[in-house]
Amino acid sequence: MVKAFLDINPASEGHALIIPKKHHETIYEIPDKELKRIIIVAKKLAKLYKRVLAAKAINLLQASGSEAQQDVFHFHMHLVPRHERDGLNLWYRSKPKIKAEFDETLQKIKQHIKEKAQR
């Protein structure tokens, strides 16, 4: 079962939290079936907000782990309706050092996938 409710500290009108009723701390623990339900509810809300709140777009945000700034340790996804020129900046800035290591990172990931497939 999935629940959705308005955030008490909204970034925009209609800012909602979508959560599984059953406790899962992060994305690492939540079963795929429940995660699929959450994203389906997010899509339904996004369509509703487009009609009812005239939202032009949405951001879906999710943090898993304290290093990712998770501060409520029950899996949840934020759906933030966006409007033209709303002034919100919810995006990240690229770090040149990490960008320079792109190929090395990609090779690490590919190697892990290859090794796992060979087991």
* Beta bridge mates, 2: 20
Edge-to-edge strand list for the sheet holding 57-61: 2-6, 16-20, 77-82, 57-61
Amino acid type, 30: I
Cβ-contact 14, 81 below 8 angstroms: yes
> Catalytic residue numbers?
76
